[in-house]
Amino acid sequence: MSALPATTREVRLARRPAGLPRSSDFDVAEVPLPLPAAEEALVRTTYFRVTASLRMMIGEGAESVEGVPFPVLRPGDPVAGGALGEVVIAPEGSGLKPGDLVAHGAGWREYALVPAAELSPLDPATDPAVHLGHGWTAYAALTRAAGIRPGDTVYVTGATGAIGSVAALAARRLGAARVVGGTGSAAKTEALISGCGYDAVVTVGSGSLTDKLAAVAPGGLDVVLDTVGGDQLAAAVGAARTGARIVVIGALSGQLAPNGPGRSAPVSLDSFQLLLKKVTLRGYSADDHPEAEQEWLDLLDGATVPHHVVAGIERAPQALVDTIAGRYLGPVLVKPF
Ligand SMILES: NC(=O)c1ccc[n+]([C@@H]2O[C@H](COP(=O)([O-])OP(=O)(O)OC[C@H]3O[C@@H](n4cnc5c(N)ncnc54)[C@H](OP(=O)(O)O)[C@@H]3O)[C@@H](O)[C@H]2O)c1
């Protein structure tokens, strides 16, 4: 084992952002290297993920909203988030050994202490972006909640995000005939088509989104995988075909709203359309089907996925700002060393 440093760096929440976060809302602190207690492992971070959903953990008023499966962070707390790392020290009898690749939720720091019981070795040959991108959520939602069928026309909102950027691949491998993506960034249209497997892209903005969907999916939508909610969900209801299945897996329109804690995403839906077209509308969490992750890895069969890597832990706060501003495609990973 190479010599351990005496100190290590971690990103902390400096203050609660009043609206969308700015890089000045975070500090990079140098702290003594933590040493593991009896049941803990010390893990050296190789990558951690920066995700727009962090907004829900740090926004003003975050404490006041119940039922969201994310911890609330207070000023001074180290930031949390999905990470990959190498085991440096492992407890005797834990089944872990130095050098094992593991995943955990204590990202945004160079070294993390993690209960050994929560860790299991991962295949180091798998693309870090596949491990951290949560793309298997799209696979799980399509197979468990949408009941995707061969020949379906699928619409994915938030197509450039970590989940949306692999959803077309998942839908295609599950037999979809046509996959349409929605984005607020027209500049990413070509990348969504050539790099992510979308057949067509609609850009949110001026003009009726329902009309745009009707133009690229004239027969209507069979399946909608919605990571955004709000007006984009309302438009999808308008463009749905009879018997469509709409699965809400995210709420980026609320999470990234300029004001508030980012924990609600109100929308006005035409319930008459739901009735006439016998649409099924449901929310879904992939936490209910963790076994789907391995199925997704098997389906990917070693494929890599689009992603963006930022080098240096000190650049993580700006990477979050840029992720929320929609500057990237796919999961955004920070390589701290
Ligand atoms: N149900 C589950 O099991 C589950 C699991 C994990 C995550 N989630 C949820 O799934 C959603 C997507 O997660 P993700 O990791 O794919 O997101 P992400 O990669 O962190 O999202 C980044 C994207 O957000 C988009 N965006 C920025 N501002 C927006 C706005 N005001 N309205 C709509 N989109 C905006 C940008 O797209 P443009 O380029 O189009 O601007 C950007 O590419 C989140 O709500 C997350 O909490 C659900």
Query: Which ligand 1 atom is at minimum distance from the Cα of 227?
Result: 11
Residue 259 pLDDT class (50, 70, 90 cuts): confident
pLDDT digits (tens, 9 = 90+) for 170-204: 999 999 999 999 999 999 999 999 999 999 999 99
Tell me: pLDDT of 220 over 70. Answer: yes
CATH topology of domain 7-132+307-335: Quinone Oxidoreductase; Chain A, domain 1 (3.90.180)
**CA 256 → CA 170, 228, 250, distances in Å?**
25, 9, 11
| Mutation pick for ligand 1 pocket among 49, 58, 163, 183 (CB with most ligand atoms within 8 Å) | 163
Nearest CA owner, ligand 1 atom 42: 326
pLDDT score, position 202:
97
Smallest CA separation from ligand 1 atom 32, residue: 253
Per-residue pLDDT tens over the stretch 14-40: 999 988 999 999 999 999 999 999 999
Measured distance CA(120)–CA(71) in Å, rounded? 23
What residues line ligand 1, using a CB cutoff of 6 Å?
51-53, 134, 137, 158, 160-164, 183-185, 188, 227-228, 249-253, 255-256, 284-287, 323-324, 326
Give me the residues paired with residue 182 across strands: 202
User: Of all atoms in ligand 1, which is nearest to the CA of residue 325?
Assistant: 27
- What average pLDDT score do residues 88-104 get? 96
**Residue 50 Cα, ligand 1 centroid: separation in angstroms?**
11
| 120-143 residue pLDDT tens | 999 999 999 999 999 999 999 999
Written out in words, the top-level CATH class of the domain with range 136-288 is: alpha beta
b/e map 24-51, b = 16+ CB within 10 Å: ebbebeeeeeeebeeebbbbbbbbbbbb
pLDDT over 70 (residue 66):
no
Is residue 94 packed enough to be buried (19+ CB in 10 Å), middle (13-18) or exposed (0-12)? Answer: middle
Centre of ligand 1 from the C-alpha of residue 51, in Å: 8
pLDDT for the residue numbered 161: 97
Res. 64: pLDDT tops 70: no
**What is the structure's pLDDT at 69?**
67
| Domain ranges for the chain | 7-132+307-335, 136-288
* Angle, in degrees to the nearest 10, between helices 164-173 and 292-300: 80
Q: Which of 262-273 are b and which e, b meaning 16 or more Cβ less than 10 Å from the residue's Cβ?
A: bbebebeeeeeb
**Gyration radius of the chain's alpha carbons:** 21
> How far is the C-alpha of 224 from the C-alpha of 200, rounded, in Å?
14
Please give the DSSP secondary-structure letter assigned to residue 79.
P
Q: Going by CA atoms, what residue is nearest to atom 7 of ligand 1?
A: 250
Residue 262: its pLDDT value, please? 83
Whether the pLDDT of residue 61 is over 80: the answer is no
How many Å lie between the centroid of ligand 1 and the Cα of residue 128? Answer: 19
Q: Which atom of ligand 1 is nearest to the CA of 253?
A: 32
Q: Above 80 in pLDDT, residue 252?
A: yes
Q: For residue 323, how far is its CA from the centre of ligand 1 (angstroms)?
A: 9
* 301 C-beta neighbours (distance < 10 Å), count: 7
Burial class (CB in 10 A: 0-12, 13-18, 19+), 207: exposed
Nearest atom, ligand 1, residue 163 CA: 16
224's enclosing H/E stretch is: strand 221-226
CA distance 320 to 68: 20
CA of 160 to the centre of ligand 1 (A): 8
Beta-strand ranges (E) seen in 98-152 are 101-104, 111-115
From atom 2 of ligand 1, which residue's Cα is the shortest distance away?
285
Give me the pLDDT at residue 59, please: 83
Q: Choose which residue among 143, 157, 190, 227 to substitute to test ligand 1 binding: the one with the highest number of ligand atoms within 8 A of its C-beta.
A: 227
Distance 53 CA to ligand 1 centre (A): 7
Q: What are phi and psi of 314, to 5 degrees?
A: -70, -15
- Region of 89 please: left (phi>0), alpha (psi -120 to 50) or beta: beta
